[in-house]
A and B are shown apart, each in its own frame.
Chain A
Amino acid sequence: MSITLRGVTKRFGAFAAVDHIDLDVPSGGLIAMLGPSGCGKTTLLRIIAGLESPDSGQVLFDGRDATLWPIRDRKVGFVFQNYALFRHMTVFENVAFGLKVKSRRERPPAADIRKKVQGLLDLVQLGWAGARYPAQLSGGQKQRVALARALAVDPEVLLLDEPFGALDAQVRHELRRWLRRLHAELKFTSIFVTHDQQEAIEVADTIVVLNRGRIEQTGIPGDVYDVPSSAFVHRFLGQVNELPVKRRDGRSLVGPLDITGEAAAEPRGGDCIALIRPHEIDIGPASVGWPAIIRDVRVIGPIVRVELCAEGQPLHEPLEAEISRERFEEEKFQIGQQVGVRFRRWQIYPSDAATLVS
């Protein structure tokens, strides 16, 4: 089922949690809504689910206006961050709930329910846990039960609100991969909300970055990371170094480095900042580029993070660079060593807009 939002707005008092959002989610898409807390992503998800009604705008399911449909009629599976399992029911009863509450006319016979629930439990690798109570399961297992329960009623849309937020890193990684596989297999439309850019990039086909109730950017994960449309998106998807840009004779300078790009790509007038990701910084011999001193070196598995104090930069704002382990071992960088810094890539944004979103 495809989902379309048209001018959806929701206010809480004077605060616009969701502000004129237009969005198209194709049937079978796997969408991540990404943003900091308070950006409206959960409210938007709840509006799609029918748990919240928008003040204005429309929600279309397959082109039909579903704005006023009650939640039970939407064929939507909703998964909460804290699982929301019914604690007084066994795992089996939890998964069977959606089938058992159907009206007598629609309800499948008991034997069919049993078969379907067992099948779903096998699908989430919990076939052995049917007789357990939620309290006897780990967080990852509980979330898988919650997913099986949502899938039991054959939803056409699966909505997940920070589904892996309460789990530890290892389990989270596993469940992300598993969700992708499940989605590829069952092909329902899925939207999940997260504040974790890593999660969004790892799982989704499309990322929607939200800020202050508005969409900042929509795109495939690679694009959103590499070609952010605003300083906010650039900052939110990964680490960045922020440097003020000086204009001289029509050239743009950061320190002594000339970063003038194509004229069209540069914002005109006003103060600008350049955002550079740590892996876009190159460290070389002191004679080339921007003179700097290595202040700290930290080996993090396959990469090495180098803190640099560039000439003319305030001491408390060191540059952060990331280089590969191999290169680090070749060059044998030492703390206190004089080096030269160059940028491989950068992006320039007007700085007043940047302060506005930060």
Chain B
Amino acid sequence: MDAPALAVNTELAAALSLGGGRRRGFRWGRLLLIVAALAFLAAFLLLPLLVVFAQALSKGVSVYLAAVSDPVAWAAIKLTLLVAAIAVPMNLVFGVAAAWAITKFEFRGKSTLITLIDLPFAVSPVIAGLTYVLIFGARGWFGPYLQEHDIHVVFAVPGIVLATVFVTFPFVARELIPVMQALGKDDEETALSLGASGWQTFWQVTLPNIRWGLLYGVLLCNARAMGEFGAVSVVSGHIRGLTNTMPLHVEILYNEYNYAAAFAVASLLALLALLTLAAKSILEWRQPELRNGARLLREKTLRGKP
């Protein structure tokens, strides 16, 4: 091998080793970041979850089953599911309508509407609950009228539903607004120009485009609807077997030093949350072209409109 070729080779080797060194440093950095993230997740998410299940089963399966199948606990579970089943669809419809209006039309008071949607995030849930007591309570604005007609709102299921709807109000709309803003109006306008009706455009074009954002919004909304404590606590009146939701029931059991039963019900609540997440993952995994769509959408959102 002659001298120039050798020199080139040495240079090449130096360049390679330099690159290698840099890459090695990068690898360490990456490893460190991953470990830090995992450790954080383990300490703040996984550990509490495990503790919930461990405590729930600490006195054996029979105690667990007894706590869960106790008629009062069962009533709380049913009430929680009922409230979520009413509040989530309501906010689903409202959220889609609000996001649609905000992103596809120009009108006066748009910024006010956006601010109002955020209100439940800004206001303490306890205050939300109190306002419902003040409006619908026995000595509230509509109290006398409601009493006359024998309608129970506060300290009954309607009050709990109202408080839950208020607290979970922003989730769907907040999730959808950026997604729909990034999508723009072109798809809808194309569909209309091809002869589709407004209804067909919504079901066949808009809804598929926003389905992942919508799903996330609904999941968040559902998790909060089932887990809400503050607002519901104020309007519920804590009547056992009648107006106690799962979180309220957990608190009562806990205050009675009945730890195993408290954690048993808590574990059910956690299980419901895990199930919804699992359902979402399976859906996503089953439909690769939709995942593809979601990825594109993310890219589009990051890049901004071309």
Contact = CB atoms under 8 A, between A and B. Distances in A.
B190 A78 contact: yes
9 contacts: A70-B192, A72-B193, A80-B189, A80-B190, A82-B305, A97-B204, A101-B194, A101-B197, A153-B194
B306 interface: yes
Nearest to B208: A88
A98 interface: yes
Contacts of A133: 289, 292
Interface in A187-213: none
A77 B305 CA distance: 22
Interface residues of B, number: 24
Contact of B196 (A50, A80, A81, A101): A101
A105 interface: no
B187 interface: yes
Q: Is the interface of A mostly helix, strand, loop or mixed?
A: loop
Given A80-B186, A133-B292, A135-B293, A86 B205 contact: yes
A257 interface: no
A101 B193 contact: no
Contacts of A146: 190
A153 B195 CA distance: 8
Contacts, number: 78
Given A80-B186, A101-B204, A153-B194, 6 more contacts: A71-B189, A72-B196, A72-B197, A84-B189, A97-B191, A135-B296
A262 B189 CA distance: 52
B187 A84 contact: yes
A101 B186 CA distance: 18
Contact of A98 (B194, B197, B208, B306): B194
A166 interface: yes
A171 B187 CA distance: 24
B195 A102 contact: yes
Contact of A76 (B193, B290, B305): B193
Interface string B186-215: 110111111111001000110011000000
B293 A98 contact: no
Most buried by B among A70, A82, A101: A101
A74 B195 CA distance: 9
B209 A71 contact: no
A44 to B, nearest CB: 16
Contacts of A135: 292-293, 296
Nearest to B299: A135
B197 A51 contact: no
CB-CB nearest 6 A-B residue pairs: A98-B194, A84-B186, A88-B208, A101-B196, A78-B193, A84-B190
A123 to B, nearest CB: 17
A237 to B, nearest CB: 27
Contacts of B197: 72, 101
Given A101-B204, A133-B289, A77 B296 contact: no
A87 interface: yes
Interface of B: 186-187, 189-197, 200, 204-205, 208-209, 289-290, 292-293, 296-297, 305-306
B202 to A, nearest CB: 12
B87 to A, nearest CB: 29
A149 interface: yes
A49 interface: yes
A78 B185 CA distance: 13
Contact of A51 (B189, B290, B297): B189
Most buried by A among B186, B197, B296: B186
Contact of B193 (A77, A81, A87): A77
Given A51-B189, A86-B187, A135-B296, A98 B195 contact: yes
Most buried by A among B192, B193, B200: B193
Contacts of A74: 193
B306 to A, nearest CB: 5
A150 interface: yes
Contacts of A50: 193
Contacts of A78: 189-190, 193
B196 A88 contact: no
B194 A150 contact: yes
Contacts of B305: 82
B194 A88 contact: no
A196 to B, nearest CB: 17
A17 B290 CA distance: 39
Contacts of B200: 101
Contacts of B205: 86
Contact of A166 (B194, B196, B293, B306): B306
A67 B208 CA distance: 32
A166 B303 CA distance: 15
A101 B190 contact: no
B195 A87 contact: no
Contact of A71 (B193, B204, B289, B296): B193
Contacts of A153: 194-195
Interface string A166-185: 10000000000000000000
Given A88-B289, A133-B292, A82 B186 contact: yes
Contacts of A72: 192-193, 195-197
A97 B196 contact: yes
Nearest to B205: A86
